Structure 1
Amino acid sequence: MHGLFVNKKKNDTGSTALVLKKIQSGDTKLKEEFIKDNVPYIIRTISNILGIVVDDRNSEEFSIGLAAFNEAIDRYDADKNGNFYTYSFVVIKSRLYDFIRRNRKHNNVLPFSYIEESTRVDERLLMSDASGQFEKIEVRQELVSFEKSLKEFGISLKDLVLSSPKHKDSRLLLIKIARIIADDDNMFRKLVEKKYIPMKEVLSRIKVNHKTIQRNRKFIIAVSLILRSNLYDLKEYVQGFEREGKYHG
């Protein structure tokens, strides 16, 4: 039976739904096979959400993703949740996001890829759980508010995903620049009103090539907006990375 169950999004409402119905009726052996065959999907999903390669099945991230997939199987309702793999993705993402918020290890990665995906997830999926625990309403509101602010600068969440620096030192430098802007009322006012980074003022406060600022304009603006906002969850990512930088610096 191994290899029978794979991520079949197009045909999911048929065969997969029937398999899940049997599992929910108490077929534990079938459940074990279903989970085993979907391990590659679980690993791939975790890697996509975190933006890192997860190939260690003994990792904490994998354990969380595996438990979330198991949870998705138990809670899945074909009438309410539609495609199982889309539904399981939401559950895995939600559990990993909770883990990230608790774990400082991941504070060095700004979750723009997560934010982009979250704003595109169907409301029916988000609210499919009666307790609303898959995506807290206040978190959803944060993301929508942040996306709206970015649009005023002509920046999309996809832009941030593509432009976010990959190296830790680069992120630290850009966050430092964003902090300078956010902490200065005059500079931040210019940023908001004129929709551009006050280059002269920034360069007078920190030694950096102006091309670095221009090249990373979108990231710097995004972080500046976060630091001056009430978006507490997003601020925690930035501040957590700043703390890590000071600790290791």
Structure 2
Amino acid sequence: MHGLFINKKKNVIDTSSTALVIKKIQNGDIRLKEEFIKDNVPYIIRTISNILGIVVDDRNSEEFSIGLAAFNEAIDRYDSEKNGNFYTYSFMVIKSRLFDFIRRNKKHSNVLPFSYIEQSTRVEERLLTCDSSGQFEKIEVRQELTSFEKNLKEFGISLEDLVLSSPKHRDSRLLSIKIARIIADNDDIFKKLAEKKYIPMKEILKLIKVNHKTIQRNRKFIIAVSLILRSNLYDLKEYVQGFEREGKYNG
């Protein structure tokens, strides 16, 4: 079975063969499914490692179990006409399930996955095929990530800064996201933020009761989240919205 999915000469994924194999699996070939998953374990591990920004080498870890289950889910739900490239689709499913996990898990929940931004272009280059499938989407994502990083630099913020300065406590994180939401949803406030390169403290304090020192302390995080909420970075935006839902339902 090895070699069925990868064209070694071109070092790209054979999308047509993959789609046919998945079709057979969906028609009930359990043994083929087991072999297909086994062949793709290195891909699953690599995907998890890149999304989380850590090295995942333990197949008994929770992260691997979630990635494996997500890959299995992708196989079951895949529709070649709707979803295009299977590996692009499975990558998105794995990423979505991991984001759900790290929102709930204390080990990963201290910060937003800003390492995802740093590695996204390299991840896509390794995991997406070289054919036309998904190319326009890939270009748009790269452009959006580049624009986001450029915007951050205008505020004197780097991705490394965000990892170090992100609120470590749940309540502080939720409050900072709430402030960022106020900025993003208010056109006048967001415009002033974008033009003046600082958080309009006076306007915000009229809309929410919070100590101004809290805003100053979490300034970089608040600005970054505000930019995310006004961007087309759907994965990070979904991640932020997950925190908002957490705050709404868990108090």
Both proteins in one fold, TM over 0.5? yes
- Alignment partner of 1:106 is 2:92: no
Distance across 1 between alignment mates of 2:143 and 2:178 = 26
Q: Deviations over 1:174-215 (max 9, x none)?
A: 001111112222211110110000111212222222222111
Normalising by structure 2, report the TM-score: 0.59
User: What residue in structure 2 maps to residue 242 of structure 1?
Assistant: 244
User: What residue in structure 1 maps to residue 15 of structure 2?
Assistant: none
Distance across 1 between alignment mates of 2:51 and 2:238 = 18
User: What residue in structure 1 maps to residue 143 of structure 2?
Assistant: 141
User: What residue in structure 2 maps to residue 57 of structure 1?
Assistant: 60
Aligned residues of 2:70 and 2:94 also touching (Cα < 8 A): no
From the superposition, tell whether residues 201 and 56 of structure 1 become closer, same or farther in structure 2 (CA, over 3 Å). Answer: farther
Aligned residues of 2:112 and 2:239 also touching (Cα < 8 A): yes
Distance across 1 between alignment mates of 2:146 and 2:134 = 18
Q: Deviations over 1:147-193 (max 9, x none)?
A: 12212212122211221122221110000111111222221111011
From the superposition, tell whether residues 122 and 112 of structure 1 become closer, same or farther in structure 2 (CA, over 3 Å). Answer: closer
Residue from 187, 205, 210 that aligns with 1:208? 210
User: What residue in structure 1 maps to residue 16 of structure 2?
Assistant: none
User: What residue in structure 1 maps to residue 95 of structure 2?
Assistant: 97
Aligned residues of 1:46 and 1:62 also touching (Cα < 8 A): no
Aligned pairs (5 A) from 1:82-231:
96-100=94-98, 103=100, 106=103, 110-119=112-121, 121=122, 125=126, 127=128, 130=131, 137=138, 138-231=140-233
In structure 1, the gaps of 5 or more residues are 1-31, 69-91
Identity %: 68
- Runs ≥4 residues deviating over 4 A: 44-49, 51-56, 65-68, 92-95, 126-136
Number of residue-to-residue matches in the alignment: 194
From the superposition, tell whether residues 50 and 200 of structure 1 become closer, same or farther in structure 2 (CA, over 3 Å). Answer: same
Distance across 2 between alignment mates of 1:53 and 1:206 = 40
**Which amino acid in 2 is paired with 1:204?**
K
From the superposition, tell whether residues 157 and 238 of structure 1 become closer, same or farther in structure 2 (CA, over 3 Å). Answer: same
Normalising by structure 1, report the TM-score: 0.59
Distance across 2 between alignment mates of 1:182 and 1:153 = 16
From the superposition, tell whether residues 199 and 140 of structure 1 become closer, same or farther in structure 2 (CA, over 3 Å). Answer: same
Aligned residues of 2:49 and 2:55 also touching (Cα < 8 A): yes
1:140 partner SS: helix
Distance across 1 between alignment mates of 2:123 and 2:53 = 22
**Which amino acid in 1 is paired with 2:227?**
L
1:204 partner SS: helix
**1:52 Cα deviation from its structure 2 partner:** 8.7
Distance across 2 between alignment mates of 1:56 and 1:238 = 29
**Which amino acid in 2 is paired with 1:174?**
S
**Which amino acid in 2 is paired with 1:99?**
R
Q: Deviations over 1:48-101 (max 9, x none)?
A: 853799878263643526998xxxxxxxxxxxxxxxxxxxxxxx9877424336
Distance across 2 between alignment mates of 1:135 and 1:57 = 37
Distance across 1 between alignment mates of 2:164 and 2:95 = 20
